[in-house]
Structure formats: C-alpha cells, structure tokens
A = this chain, B = another copy of it.
Amino acid sequence: MRELAYYEAKLEALSEIMAADDRVHLIGGSFLSLSPRRMLFKKIEEMYRDRVISPPISELGFCGLAVGAAMTGLRPVVDLSTGSFIYEAWPQIVNEAANAFYMSGGRTRAPVVFHLLHGIRGAGAAQHSHSPQAMLWNSPGLEIVLPSSPRDVRGLLKTAVSTDNPTIFVDHIQLFETRGPVPESDDPIPFGRADIKRKGNDVTVVATSYMVQRCLKVAERLGVEGVAVEVVDPRTLVPLDFTTILSSIEKTRRVVIVDETHRSCGVAAELAARILEERFDKLKAPIRRVATLDVPIPYSPPLEDFVSPSESRIIEAIQSVLR
C-alpha cells in the first residue's frame, strides 16, 4: 500500500474535499500553520480562489460567520491555526453552534468544521499551547475529532465535512511528518470507531492525537522487554466508541490513559471515570492518567518537557499498573 506523510494525506483530503463539493469553503488559509510545509497549501488556495478566503484577525467574527453560512447551505471549514485562538471564538462555538440544532428543536443544522492545532508545539509557551478538547467535550452538541495517523487524518477530515453537525477537528503539528500507509481510494472513516493501533495482552493504553504516536514508540520499547502493550485510539471523543475500549480492557484488565489536555477535568479524567463505572470489578490495578500537569505551559524546553505527557512518564505509568 502506498505510504504518505501526514501532511500529504491531509492536503490530499483537502483537495479531494474541495473538488467533490463546492459548498465547502475554506475560511482562513493556514491548515499547515507554521510548519515548514505550509507553502504546499498555496496550491489549493490558487485552485479555488473563490472558495478559500483569508479573514481579518477576528476569530469571533469569522467563526460566527462560518456557523451562519453553515446554517444556510454551505459547509465551511474554518482554520483557527493555533488551538488557543479558539478561545476568542468561544461564544460562537459553545453557545451558538453547539446549541443551534437543539434549541431549534432539530430544525437548524450547522455543518461547520473548526480546524485547529492543539497542544505543545515547542516553545509555544502559556498562550499558544492549549488543548481545548476537554472543555469542548464538556459542551454538548459538538463532534470532536482527533486524528493521529496519515490514514486517519484523511479519512476523518472527509467525514468531518460530511456530517451535519458542528465538528471540531483537533490536529497536532507534531504529527505532520509521521509517515504511514494510505490506500489510494480510501473510504472516509466513520465517527465513533476507535482504532487499535497496536495489539497486546498485558496493558491497555488509551491515547489520543499525537500521544498515540508517542505511545506506539513506548510500546515498541516495552515490547522488547516483553511487555505487550495494546494502544487504543478513540479517534473521535464525540461520538465515542466505548465498546472497543471496554473489550480491550476486558482482555488486559489494566489501563493507562495518555492525553495532552490538562489533568483536571481533562479527557483522561472522563475516560477513567467511565471505565470505572463500567468495569470497576474487572480491573487489576487503579487506572493511571498521564496528562499535561495542571500548570500553564512554560516556555523553556526542559520545563515544557517536564509538564507534558513525556515518554518517561508514560513508561512509569505502564510499569506501575503492571505491578
């Protein structure tokens, strides 16, 4: 099967989406943000001048505009670039887009996609390193997507644009150079289907976004030492495929959750709470969460590494649940 880099698969999806449906407009033109590959997006921009538009620095305004356009027939994909900037648009996303279908009694749809790059990008410091997906999961009415591989980013982006709901597409710039198989003619990946990224019988590691790749590395290393780690990637938080997670746990009966949102009220907290509601008696050890520490993200590299869900913290957690 052909192999692509993550950024290539993402661009391919964007071009195919633009070609397939002229209701799709791209609002904000830096889907590759500051990555060295960013110039490659220009091709799409030039090919669809009338459907790629670069707005003012007015996140609240252009996110609201996208929601309104989605309510009236378009399928806008908004690029917020750095995930932290979604906070500028918070009222339009959590209080307009998320509520529109419900408040109208199911009569108004807002098929908009908000694309953002979350997490620790490297020296982003406290104001440019956010992972807003936990807050967004606490806001009913939004679909939340977290790709972690070239195949997933392509298949999930296509589905994101096709659903009739507001969707937050939470990407991570550290994934862009990851290579992996992507079939030429690949179907969109339906939401609510977790993916077992690696099979193993000793411990279940539930990981999201860039943390999936980090956990796969760790699993590789522990594999050598004879520890069989199963890496489960939910791929979408809303909707959540809990069945796949539970059946993996049935097998391993030991769980570590690795996610980049801050620890308190983070994604790992929700997954842990749900797992324990369902399989309390089945577990051989308390669930361990490896999340970003409850600290604003510091600028200096060694500090940044210290607060993030690093390989060493992941390994320590896995070993502790195996004891």
Which residue of B265, B286, B288 is within 8 Å of A265 (Cβ)?
B265
| Chain B residues with CB below 8 A from A266, complex form | 138, 265, 270
Q: How far is the CB of A304 from chain B (nearest CB, A)?
A: 13
- Whether a CB of chain B sits under 8 angstroms from the CB of A102 is yes
Considering the complex, which residues of chain A in the window 274-289 have a beta carbon less than 8 Å from any beta carbon of chain B? 276-277, 280-281, 283, 285-289
A77-106: contact bitstring with B at CB < 8 Å (1 yes, 0 no)?
000000010011011001100110011000
Q: How far is the CB of A58 from chain B (nearest CB, A)?
A: 12
Q: How far is the CB of A319 from chain B (nearest CB, A)?
A: 16
Considering the complex, which residues of chain A in the window 119-161 have a beta carbon less than 8 Å from any beta carbon of chain B? 125-127, 130, 134-135, 137-141
B102 touches A95 (CB 8 A): no
Nearest opposing residue in chain B for A280, CB measure: B286
Q: Decide yes or no: A138 and B103 within 8 Å by CB, A98-B296, A272-B273, A286-B276 being known contacts.
A: no
B265 touches A269 (CB 8 A): yes
Nearest opposing residue in chain B for A287, CB measure: B276
A99 touches B127 (CB 8 A): yes
- Whether a CB of chain B sits under 8 angstroms from the CB of A261 is yes
B141 touches A296 (CB 8 A): yes
- Whether a CB of chain B sits under 8 angstroms from the CB of A298 is yes
Which residue of B84, B95, B134, B285 is within 8 Å of A87 (Cβ)?
B95
Max chain B Cβ within 10 angstroms of own Cβ: one of A103, A139, A267, A288: A139
Q: Decide yes or no: A288 and B296 within 8 Å by CB, A134-B265, A139-B262, A265-B138 being known contacts.
A: no
Q: Decide yes or no: A270 and B276 within 8 Å by CB, A94-B87, A95-B87 being known contacts.
A: no
Q: How far is the CB of A167 from chain B (nearest CB, A)?
A: 16
- Whether a CB of chain B sits under 8 angstroms from the CB of A264 is yes
- Whether a CB of chain B sits under 8 angstroms from the CB of A268 is yes
A277 touches B287 (CB 8 A): yes
Nearest opposing residue in chain B for A281, CB measure: B286
A127 touches B265 (CB 8 A): no
Q: How far is B299's CA from A103's CA once the two chains are assembled, in angstroms?
A: 8
Q: How far is B295's CA from A252's CA once the two chains are assembled, in angstroms?
A: 33
* 3 closest residue pairs by CB, A with B: A280-B286, A90-B90, A99-B126
Q: Decide yes or no: A138 and B135 within 8 Å by CB, A273-B273, A277-B287, A296-B102 being known contacts.
A: yes
| Chain B residues with CB below 8 A from A135, complex form | 134-135, 138-139, 265
Q: Decide yes or no: A95 and B280 within 8 Å by CB, A103-B296, A265-B267 being known contacts.
A: no
Nearest opposing residue in chain B for A99, CB measure: B126
| Chain B residues with CB below 8 A from A126, complex form | 95, 99, 102-103
- Whether a CB of chain B sits under 8 angstroms from the CB of A294 is yes
B289 touches A277 (CB 8 A): yes
Nearest opposing residue in chain B for A141, CB measure: B296
A262 touches B87 (CB 8 A): no
Nearest opposing residue in chain B for A96, CB measure: B127
Q: How far is B296's CA from A88's CA once the two chains are assembled, in angstroms?
A: 21
